[in-house]
Amino acid sequence: MQGIVEILKGKLADMLETLKQIVEKESPTLDKELTDQLASFIANLFEDLTSGKASIIQNDLYGNHIRGEFGSGEEQILLLTHYDTVWQKGDIKEKIPFKIEGDILYGPGVFDMKGGIVQGLYALQALKETNQFLNKKVVFLCTSDEELGSPSSQKLIEEEAKKSKYVLVLEPPISKQGALKTARKGVGIFKLHIKGRAAHAGVEPEKGISAILELSKQVTYLHELTDYSKGTTVNVGKISGGTTVNVIAAEAEADIDLRVKTKAEFERIIPIIKNLKPKTAGVDVKVAGGINRPPFERTDQVISLFNIAKKIARDHLGINLEEKETGGGSDGNFTAPFAPTLDGLGAVGDGAHALNEHIIISEMPKRSALLALLIKELAN
């Protein structure tokens, strides 16, 4: 009987055809009609390819989610994917057509993360066809709103993570070298609102209190909270304020992005941001917001999970698998507090959210095999 690696190499043409179908069904996060269509398609595909059972989880606001179950067993391994993309309806025609050039495949969402979905489905199919005995079931969760920060799927993801021994996230690996992601920073998002007092800038400027001046001081202070040695960064990414040129500005606002490596760092820095003190007499400073995604920390359990993958990659695929940390968040941030999580197990390529978004075709069967062998190892 053929091994998993050979079987998957032989399925490359099928994988590409399936990927084409999934990519041609465009899935902008905010288009419920399109996303629901793709959700039904993926649910059917899951059942056809893996002989598992898929259910559609209805969602009022965004596309429906899909939960597939493969195999049986008390314990479970969670495969985490999302099918929404940042691309809009029609982009496949106008901006980034599905096309193959040599070993490179372009298309909206192929890298983030439709290529990963396909690799995941075929990995399960290969496990089925080689009659692998797994004493844990695999839950394949495919959600619809990751690109928005998972407002409607976060709870579901956390609930499944709590029930799981391991979580494998099929987001793309780090571009080019294909390194897995063993740590992701936590993300905090805040809105700063400043109230000053309006006055005519020429007639009685002394009666005004400029919210913009106060904002500029606060922005400087916030950026100084960045500490690269700790991996903590604060960025004011958007500001607004004032009404017109000859009025002392009564109001100003700023959007703040905070990234940290550890929960402890969140506990240190969030109170500082939430309790910003006015730097000018008479202004009112308010901060709303908080944690958007908790940090995915590189714990000992994460390291040993990575080492299992590294050994499989070396012994079966001749790949020297590396690990990296990233400041970007994923749904892995939501699972990491509950179960050892390994991220970046999706398609190798580059250009997420960009016009050159692509994957490397010859890597698809290898990464799919890596996943199948990893599931096999973890399920025993």
CB closest to Zn ion, residue no: 112
Q: Is the peptide bond before 113 cis (omega within 30 degrees of 0)?
A: yes
Closest CA to 332 of 106, 172, 103, 152: 172
Single residue of 113, 138, 370, 375 touching Zn ion by CB under 5 A:
113
Name the DSSP class of 114: I
Span from 108-116, 127-135, 278-286, 331-339 in contact with Zn ion (CB under 5 A): 108-116
- Mark out the alpha helices in the chain (DSSP H runs): 4-9, 12-24, 32-50, 91-94, 115-129, 154-162, 211-224, 263-274, 300-317, 332-335, 363-378
Q: Which is nearer to Zn ion, 86 or 272 (CB)?
A: 86
Cα torsion 213, 218, 219, 221: sign: positive
Q: Which residues contact 143 (CB under 8 A, 6 or more apart)?
A: 65, 66, 80, 81, 82, 83, 84, 150, 153, 156, 157, 331
CA atoms within 13 A on the CB side of 365: 19
* CA–CA gap between residue 316 and residue 120 (Å, rounded): 18
Structure tokens at 231: 């991996």
Q: Which is nearer to Zn ion, 251 or 343 (CB)?
A: 343
Distance of CA 254 to the CA centre of its chain: 25
Shortest distance (Å) from residue 82 CB to Zn ion: 6
Q: Which is nearer to Zn ion, 143 or 368 (CB)?
A: 143
Shortest distance (Å) from residue 142 CB to Zn ion: 12
Instruction: Give one word for 244, left, alpha or beta, with left for phi > 0 and alpha for psi -120 to 50.
Output: beta
Span from 23-31, 109-117, 201-209, 354-362 in contact with Zn ion (CB under 5 A): 109-117
Instruction: Give the DSSP per-residue string, 332-364.
Output: HHHHTTTS-EEB--S--EE-TTSTT-EEETTHH
Contacts with Zn ion in 157-176 (CB under 5 A)? 171
Shortest distance (Å) from residue 282 CB to Zn ion: 46
| 357 is an interface residue for Zn ion by CB under 5 A | no
Q: Which residues contact 213 (CB under 8 A, 6 or more apart)?
A: 196, 280
Q: SS3 of 94, please?
A: helix
Q: Which is nearer to Zn ion, 173 or 196 (CB)?
A: 173
Shortest distance (Å) from residue 238 CB to Zn ion: 23
Checking DSSP bridges between strand 247-248 and strand 233-241, what pairing results, if any? Answer: unpaired
**Residues 204-243: x/- map of binding to Zn ion (CB under 5 A)?**
----------------------------------------
Q: Hunting for tokens 């400027």 — which residue is that?
A: 205
Single residue of 84, 112, 323, 343 touching Zn ion by CB under 5 A:
112
Span from 16-24, 110-118, 193-201, 308-316 in contact with Zn ion (CB under 5 A): 110-118
Shortest distance (Å) from residue 301 CB to Zn ion: 23
Shortest distance (Å) from residue 247 CB to Zn ion: 44
Q: Which is nearer to Zn ion, 252 or 347 (CB)?
A: 347
Number of residues that bind Zn ion (CB under 5 A): 3
Shortest distance (Å) from residue 47 CB to Zn ion: 24
Q: How far is CA 311 from CA 78, 177, 299, 315, in A?
A: 21, 17, 19, 6
Shortest distance (Å) from residue 146 CB to Zn ion: 5
Q: Which is nearer to Zn ion, 171 or 251 (CB)?
A: 171
Span from 106-114, 226-234, 272-280, 294-302 in contact with Zn ion (CB under 5 A): 106-114
Q: Which is nearer to Zn ion, 251 or 331 (CB)?
A: 331
Shortest distance (Å) from residue 181 CB to Zn ion: 11
* CA–CA gap between residue 352 and residue 72 (Å, rounded): 35
Shortest distance (Å) from residue 344 CB to Zn ion: 11
**Residues 122-161: x/- map of binding to Zn ion (CB under 5 A)?**
----------------------------------------
Binding region for Zn ion (CB under 5 A): 112-113, 171
